Structure 1
């Protein structure tokens, strides 16, 4: 059946399109009998408002653009679930794009979403984004933007993050208490916010426990198309050190699973020879060999709070007030990959 329009209703009832439009909006300008006729006919013919037409009338698209590095990452898929759960209930559609860790693709995605007149953007920066002009320009022109997880320090707007410092500190201290002293850190590109925050927590835990920080035990890995080879190279360099690590703390899903793969290839026993703790939201962490100790981020809640802040900016642009940076607590789930060992002093 063809979609019925306001024009079709007007023609069938011998009314003007403006009268039908006002009747459907329950306007006080239209008498009760005319409203009844229009509403009954619209229901009978299964009339549904055209969202594009409504957005043109209201100057709102009722859509939100989301740009994330990759949907395949469990953290980001959980983030999207949180975004959609609130957006849908608030009457907004969600349009999702992946940057695939590419700055150029991030810019192209942003430009396309703006051309489609989304009401606002939720963004987690790509690992290769160092220039923020495309977001700064849009914010200066009045487009609401909220950043999630990977956030820029320089841009003034709402941001929602996990408490990366505390999560990293807790993970590193757990490894120390399990008997490890040579703890390596496999992490993201150095200019990402999550990298500096997790590195700071790692360093502080070492210092507070009397362990000297050694730059040789820290490797920064690209998250782009060559992530597997970068990861493998970084882990092998650590393993080939004169004093190889007895524990590795990894900063993301892909780095964690990649690291475990290299250790298995080298026939290195986990945790007997090297313990592992990872920042990861993968749902099968307890099914890995061995089950993985993980710092888990509240991804669902981060998405929910991010979209709530964005909708507030969209619907009340003159009441934005001071911008917030919300930091949500992580949790450390201890499993066999970081089991303790006998200390030999």
Structure 2
């Protein structure tokens, strides 16, 4: 079945192609009667605008790409929701890709989005990303790029982040003020900036409060399976230190929940024997027993902000505007685990 054209609609109504086009776009110089006739006939004939023709005329595809490490993570799910909500208001479609913490998949996703001619790209990098040539490739194609959450500090582009170091510092300092002194940290891989910054915040809070940093209390969770990493690390922690540890700061809520599960199953009382703080404020953190103290990341608001920045650069594509780094505020949500 051949696609219906503006010309066919114009011939059926005995008006010009220009009038049909203007009527479909609600131009004010076309009468209400004509607009109604054109729209009703277009609907009856299942007319769909030719995307290629529109793209050539506007030099935009009205599509944007988003690449995240995973879509099942509560934080990324809320960011995506915010992006889609904001994009919809500007009539943009979102192509969503996930790298699954795989650098090669991240690079392939970038190549695909470039080949699709998207108007802009938003990325939260995988934990394994150390080379940023694919980000430069985006910029070399004059496609606006915004990084969020897991970013590259050396890539010159706009970014939306939180202050991970400050948030971690506040969480650990809260534990110290509650009287905890032997505080363990379950961190992420050595490479991602968020993992580095949260570790630095943890360490700085200890040193600034005259508590000696003990590297044996730091465990790396790098299997991309937060719950099982947390559970396994909790076992190692107790096997090595027994009761000579009284608190835990975990890089994510799921790592914290994995540890909490191990402690509960082994008769280690929370927070009497060990206090726990997570990071992200997943829904699960408010319904487990005991409920989990955590850092709240404003994912939905971050998503809307990411799109807002990207849209600003899309609209100013042929004009040089300064890149921006927007820092979203976090907050400590105190619950039963501390």
TM-score by shorter chain over 0.5: yes
Corresponding residue of 2:49 = 50
Partner of 1:341: none
Q: Structure 1 residue 238 and structure 2 residue 231: aligned?
A: no
Partner of 1:279: 279
In the alignment, structure 1 residue 100 sits paired with structure 2 residue 106: no
**Aligned residue in 2 for 1:177:** 177
Question: 1:342: which partner in 2?
Answer: none
* CA distance 1:122–1:153, shift in 2 (3 Å): same
Alignment of 1:254-333 (within 5 A): 254-333=254-333
Contact kept, 8 Å, 2:75 with 2:280, in 1: the verdict is: yes
CA distance, structure 2, for counterparts of residue 9 and residue 46 of structure 1 = 7
Q: Distance in 2 between matches of 1:147 and 1:4?
A: 40
DSSP 3-state at the match of 1:291: coil
Structure 2 match to 1:157: 157
The alignment covers a number of residue pairs equal to 333
Asked if the contact 1:101–1:223 (Cα under 8 Å) also holds between the matched residues in 2, the reply is no
CA deviations 1:8-55 (Å, max 9, x no partner) are 303313456466446655789xxx68x777533322224465262422
Change (3 A) 1:51 1:304: farther
Stretches of structure 2 lacking an aligned partner (at least 5 in a row): none
Asked if 1 retains the 8 angstrom alpha-carbon contact of 2:230 and 2:257, the reply is no
| Cα distance change, pair 44–336 in 1 and its aligned pair in 2 (3 A) | same
Output the CA distance in 1 between the equivalents of 2:55 and 2:305: 25
**Quick one: distance in 2 between partners of 1:320 and 1:86?**
24
Shift of 1:121: 0.7
Cα distance per residue 1:189-210 (max 9 Å; x no partner): 1211111111111111101111
- 1:47-82, Cα deviation, whole Å (9 max, x unpaired): 465262422331211111111111211111111122
State the distance in 2 between where 1:227 and 1:290 align: 19
The CA distance in 1 between the partners of 2:282 and 2:138, in whole Å, is 34
Query: Deviation string for 1:131-183 (max 9, x for gaps)?
Result: 21111111122111101100101100001111212211111011111221111
How far apart are the structure 1 equivalents of 2:291 and 2:227? Answer: 21
Q: With structure 2 as the length reference, what TM-score do the two structures score?
A: 0.90
Q: Supply the distance in 1 between the matched residues of 2:137 and 2:314 (Cα, whole angstroms).
A: 17
Distance 2:138 2:262 in 1: 43
Deviation of 1:228 (Å): 4.9
Q: Which runs of 5+ in 1 are unaligned?
A: 339-345
Q: The residue matched to 2:268 in structure 1 has which SS?
A: coil
Q: Secondary structure at the match of 1:210?
A: coil
RMSD of the TM alignment (CA)?
Answer: 2.5
